[in-house]
Chain A
Amino acid sequence: MKSTRCLLQLQRLRLLGQSGRSCVQFGALLQSASTSQPSVLQNKVLRHFHSSTSCGKNRSVPATFVNEDKKKEDKSLATYDDLFERVAKEIKTKATFNKVIDVFNKKDIRRRGHVEFIYAALKKMPEFGVEGDIAVYNKLLDVFPKEVFVPKNYIQRMFNHYPRQQECGVQVLEQMENYGIMPNIETKVLLIQIFGEKSHPIRKFQRIMYWFPKFKNINPFPVPKQLPEDPVDMARFSLSRIAGDLDAKVTVYQLPCTDVTESGEEITLPHIVGIQSPNQMEMLAKHNPNKPVFVEGPFPLWLRKTCVHYYILRADPTPPEEKKEEPYDPERCLDFPLQLDLDLDRDLSEEETFDVEDLEDGPVFAMCMTSKGDQATLNQWISGIQENNPILGEVPTLFRLDVGSQLLQGVADTESNHSNQSHDETQGQEPQPGEEAEVIVDKQPRRSQGMKQ
Chain B
Amino acid sequence: MMNVNRFVVLSKAFGVGNRLLAGRARHVGREATLLQLRRSFKTHSRNLAYAKDLFLGQLNKAEVFPYPEISNEELEELKQFVAPVDKFFSEEVDSAKIDREARIPPETLNGLKELGLFGIMVPEEYGGLGLSNTMYARLAEITSLDGSIAVTLAAHQAIGLKGILIAGNEAQKQKYLPKLASGEHIAAFCLTEPGSGSDAASIQTRATLSEDGKHYLLNGSKIWISNGGMADIMTVFARTHVDVDGEKKDKISAFIVERAFGGITSGKPEDKLGIRGSNTCEVSFDNVPVPLENVIGEVGGGFKIAMNILNSGRFSMGSSSAGMIKKLIELTSEYAATRKQFDKSLSEFGMIQEKFAIMAINAFVMESMAYLTAGMMDRPGLPDCSLEAAMVKVFSSEGGWICCSEALQVLGGLGYTKNYPFERYVRDCRILPIFEGTNEILRMYIALTGMQYAGKVITGKIKEMKKGNVSTIMGAIGQRLRTSIAGPADLGLTGKDGVVHQSLTESAKKLEQNVHLFGSTVENLLYRYGKTIVDEQLILKKVADVLINLYAMTAVLSRASRSISIGLRNHDHEVLLANTFCTDAFFKNSYAMVQLQKHSPENNDASIKKIAKEVLDSRHYICSHPLERTY
Contact = CB atoms under 8 A, between A and B. Distances in A.
A182 B455 contact: no
A346 B532 contact: yes
B199 A342 contact: no
A343 B455 CA distance: 9
Nearest to A352: B600
Nearest to B629: A213
A184 B630 CA distance: 11
A90 interface: no
B201 A340 contact: no
B441 A331 contact: no
A333 B452 contact: no
A173 B219 CA distance: 74
B459 A336 contact: no
Interface stretch (B225-233, B475-483, B495-503, B523-531): B523-531
Given A216-B630, A350-B528, A334 B303 contact: yes
B463 interface: yes
Interface string B282-315: 0000000000000000000001001100100000
B391 to A, nearest CB: 14
Of A212, A217, A337, A352, the most chain B CB neighbours within 10 A belong to A337
B619 A336 contact: no
Nearest to B197: A334
B448 interface: yes
A159 B251 CA distance: 91
B444 to A, nearest CB: 4
B310 A334 contact: yes
A329 interface: yes
Contacts of B199: 332-334
B597 to A, nearest CB: 13
A341 B456 CA distance: 8
B70 interface: no
Interface in A325-373: 329, 331-347, 349-350, 352
A343 B459 contact: yes
Interface in A135-167: none
B530 A335 contact: no
A345 B527 CA distance: 8
Contacts of A336: 198, 441, 444-445, 448-449
A386 B35 CA distance: 67
A246 interface: yes
A213 B631 contact: yes
Nearest to A344: B530
A223 interface: no
B200 interface: yes
Interface in A208-230: 209, 212-213, 216-217
B566 interface: no
B365 interface: no
Contacts of A335: 198, 307, 310, 437, 441-442, 444-445
A221 to B, nearest CB: 11
A209 B631 contact: yes
A347 B527 contact: yes
Contact of B306 (A209, A334, A341, A345): A334
Contacts of B198: 333-336
Given A329-B201, A334-B200, A342-B531, A212 B452 contact: no
B620 to A, nearest CB: 10
A184 B441 CA distance: 55
Contacts of A333: 198-200
Given A246-B619, A332-B200, A337 B452 contact: yes
B200 A184 contact: no
Interface in B101-120: none
Contact of A344 (B441, B459, B630): B459
A337 B449 contact: yes
A350 B599 CA distance: 8
A384 B310 CA distance: 46
B275 interface: no
A347 B527 CA distance: 7
Given A213-B631, A246-B619, A344-B531, A334 B455 contact: no
Nearest to A349: B528
Contacts of B359: none
A182 B631 contact: yes
Given A337-B448, A345-B531, A217 B310 contact: no
A286 to B, nearest CB: 16
A347 B441 CA distance: 26
Contacts of B455: 340, 342, 344
Nearest to B540: A336
B533 interface: yes
A217 B630 contact: yes
B327 to A, nearest CB: 30
Interface string A390-428: 000000000000000000000000000000000000000
A347 B631 contact: no
Nearest to B310: A334
Contact of B251 (A217, A331, A341, A347): A331
Contacts of B238: none
A335 B197 CA distance: 9
Interface string B237-262: 00000000000000110000000000
Contacts of A340: 448, 451-452, 455, 531, 533-534
B462 interface: yes
Q: Which 7 A-B pairs have the closest CB atoms?
A: A344-B530, A213-B630, A336-B445, A342-B455, A331-B303, A336-B444, A342-B531
30 contacts: A216-B631, A217-B624, A331-B251, A332-B200, A333-B200, A334-B197, A336-B198, A336-B448, A337-B448, A337-B534, A338-B534, A340-B448, A340-B452, A340-B455, A340-B531, A340-B534, A341-B531, A342-B452, A342-B455, A342-B456, A342-B459, A344-B455, A344-B459, A344-B463, A344-B526, A346-B530, A347-B466, A347-B528, A347-B529, A350-B599
Given A331-B252, A344-B455, A352-B600, 14 more contacts: A182-B630, A213-B630, A217-B630, A332-B199, A333-B199, A333-B200, A334-B191, A336-B198, A340-B452, A341-B456, A342-B531, A343-B463, A344-B526, A344-B531
